[in-house]
């Protein structure tokens, strides 16, 4: 008899809640990772950097577990197929795993739980990727918060009251001892290695310490770049939040935004394709394909927008300030559906996270949880003046800036701003 520990968005051995509890039991624990075909088959880009990143992490985990006399069993297929096969091969007592709040993940887990129950196997899940999960921070009437500020206040006071600790002393002796099998290659799954480099998972304390002062300037190295590591759990949120609490409140506040959007998505799975505020689905988006293409390629003639899109296309990253500007530009200046922009980001961002991306896009489009109404239309020039005054960021990403080769603005700012306000007003007055 053995138990399975199933890794998903928690690709680390350190401070991993589900793994910790699995190892506390008497039964041997077989660690498992599934390269899920349902997800991989949908990826168009076969050099997707996130797949290479995951593959590297899996290789590391496998090696670390092999040093402990065990292995990481790595399968390629759909989770249901894989579990059907494992149930035939092993006498499984329980499946341990950490909870995930995305709609696809919840559906997948319900299916595996059902399959397990039919065979008398327990399916045990744990909170691991957040400090407080959906349902833990509620208002006085027991409802979820629709705006961020009161949510963050309650989050913070609960954080102060709760004894949050990183888990240590894992019972490694309870790992299932077995001979390793070779790891499936990227090629065997139809992928190739990406040349995009991934930032370190080691939090840079200096950056976090001065975060409130530097975070808005895209030319500076002033944010932590931990997004991808939070996404795939190559860093523990407990360790990071404890560090943040001792170093910089503003940084901790960003980690609260992350949990706020996860909660919003968990309670409102419809936001995946609908506006959080339903009335905003009446906006008649212009959806001009040529303009969308110019935006994607960083050729709108608005330097701060173009610099951001080129940073994204070349590195899989875009600075948060610039994400807000390009998203506002697409939805307001060009009146292109936020879902188009969201989908483009989902393909390109290394740190892509459904909840944060959807939340960010709906915030920019004015359709989301923002307490402010839709009238905020970022002015690309004044944003540049404030946050990239000496044009360092712009020049870095647009070598032809200031030459004849650089395109003329695809739309006039004043005209576009008024058109956005009129269109939104008309749609919402209906």
Q: DSSP labels for 53-83?
A: HHHHHHHHHHHHHHHTT---EEEEE-HHHHH
Q: Which of 131, 324, 335, 336 binds ligand FAD (CB under 6 A)?
A: 324
Is residue 258 a contact residue for ligand FAD (CB under 6 A)?
A: yes
Identify the CA nearest to 297 among candidates 367, 398, 180: 398
Q: Which of 62, 225, 332, 333 binds ligand FAD (CB under 6 A)?
A: 225
Name 256's Cβ contacts closer than 8 Å, sequence gap at least 6: 148, 151, 152, 155, 156
Residues belonging to the active site: 254, 257, 285, 320, 338, 361
Strand pairing report for 92-98 and 73-77: unpaired
Name 425's Cβ contacts closer than 8 Å, sequence gap at least 6: none
Is residue 353 a contact residue for ligand FAD (CB under 6 A)?
A: yes
Shortest Å, Cβ 240 to ligand FAD? 8
Is residue 254 a contact residue for ligand FAD (CB under 6 A)?
A: yes
Is residue 266 a contact residue for ligand FAD (CB under 6 A)?
A: no
Q: Which stretch binds ligand FAD (CB under 6 A): 40-48, 52-60, 76-84, 252-260?
A: 252-260
The annotation places the binding site for FAD at: 211, 251, 254-261, 351-353
Question: Measured at the alpha carbon of residue 362, what is the angle toward residues 280 and 105, in degrees to the nearest 5?
Answer: 115
Is residue 340 a contact residue for ligand FAD (CB under 6 A)?
A: no
Is residue 332 a contact residue for ligand FAD (CB under 6 A)?
A: no
Q: Which of 32, 61, 275, 364 binds ligand FAD (CB under 6 A)?
A: 364
Is residue 220 a contact residue for ligand FAD (CB under 6 A)?
A: no
Shortest Å, Cβ 352 to ligand FAD? 4
Shortest Å, Cβ 298 to ligand FAD? 16
Question: Measured at the alpha carbon of residue 324, what is the angle toward residues 374 and 199, in degrees to the nearest 5?
Answer: 155
Which C-beta is closer to ligand FAD: that of 141 or that of 149?
149
Q: DSSP labels for 200-236?
A: -SS--HHHHHTHHHHTT-TTS--S---HHHHHHTSS-
- CB-CB contact of 73 with 32 (8 Å): yes
Strand pairing report for 2-7 and 122-126: unpaired
Residue 213 has φ and ψ, to the nearest 5°, of -90, -30
Identify the CA nearest to 252 among candidates 264, 243, 260: 243
Q: Which of 257, 267, 401, 406 binds ligand FAD (CB under 6 A)?
A: 257
Is residue 210 a contact residue for ligand FAD (CB under 6 A)?
A: no
Q: Which of 148, 176, 191, 361 binds ligand FAD (CB under 6 A)?
A: 361
Is residue 360 a contact residue for ligand FAD (CB under 6 A)?
A: yes
Contact positions toward ligand FAD, by CB under 6 A? 215, 223-227, 230, 254-255, 257-258, 261, 320, 323-324, 327, 345, 349, 351-353, 356-357, 359-361, 364
């Amino acid at each position: 008899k053995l138990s399975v520990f199933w890794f998903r968005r928690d690709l680390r051995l350190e401070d991993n809640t589900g793994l910790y509890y699995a190892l506390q039991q008497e039964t041997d624990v077989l660690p498992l990772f599934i390269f899920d075909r349902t997800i991989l088959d949908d990826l168009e880009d076969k050099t997707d950097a996130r797949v290479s990143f995951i593959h590297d992490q899996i290789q590391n985990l496998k090696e670390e577990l092999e040093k402990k006399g065990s292995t990481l069993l790595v399968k390629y297929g759909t989770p249901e197929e894989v579990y059907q096969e494992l149930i035939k091969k092993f006498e499984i007592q329980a499946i341990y795993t950490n909870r995930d709040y995305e709609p696809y993940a919840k559906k997948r887990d319900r299916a595996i739980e059902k399959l397990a129950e039919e065979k008398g196997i327990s399916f045990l899940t744990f909170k691991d990727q957040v400090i407080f999960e959906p349902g833990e921070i509620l208002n006085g009437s027991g409802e979820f918060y629709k705006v961020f500020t009161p949510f963050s206040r309650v989050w913070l006071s609960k954080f102060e009251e709760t004894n949050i600790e990183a888990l240590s002393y894992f019972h490694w002796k309870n790992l299932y001892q077995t001979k390793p099998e070779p790891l499936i290659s990227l090629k065997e799954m139809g992928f190739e290695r990406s040349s995009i480099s991934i930032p370190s998972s080691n939090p840079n304390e200096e950056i976090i310490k001065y975060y409130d002062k530097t975070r808005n300037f895209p030319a500076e190295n002033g944010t932590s770049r931990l997004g991808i590591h939070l996404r795939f759990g190559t860093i523990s949120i407990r360790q990071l939040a404890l560090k943040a609490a001792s170093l910089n409140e503003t940084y901790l506040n960003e980690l609260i935004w992350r949990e706020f959007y996860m909660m919003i998505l968990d309670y409102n799975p419809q936001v995946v394709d609908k506006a959080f505020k339903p009335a905003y689905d009446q906006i008649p988006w212009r959806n001009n394909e040529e303009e969308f293409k110019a935006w994607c390629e960083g050729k709108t003639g608005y330097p701060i927008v173009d610099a951001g899109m080129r940073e994204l296309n070349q590195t899989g990253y875009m600075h948060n300030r610039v994400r807000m500007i390009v998203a506002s530009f697409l939805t307001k200046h060009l009146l292109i559906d936020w879902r188009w922009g969201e989908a483009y980001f989902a393909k390109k961002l290394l740190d892509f996270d459904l909840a944060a991306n959807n939340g960010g896009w709906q915030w920019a489009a004015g359709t989301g949880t923002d307490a402010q109404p839709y009238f905020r239309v970022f002015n690309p020039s004044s944003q540049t003046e404030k946050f990239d005054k000496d044009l360092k960021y712009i020049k870095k990403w647009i070598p032809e800036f200031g030459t004849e080769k650089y395109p003329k603005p695809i739309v006039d700012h004043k005209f576009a701003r008024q058109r956005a306000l009129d269109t939104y007003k008309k749609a919402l007055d209906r």
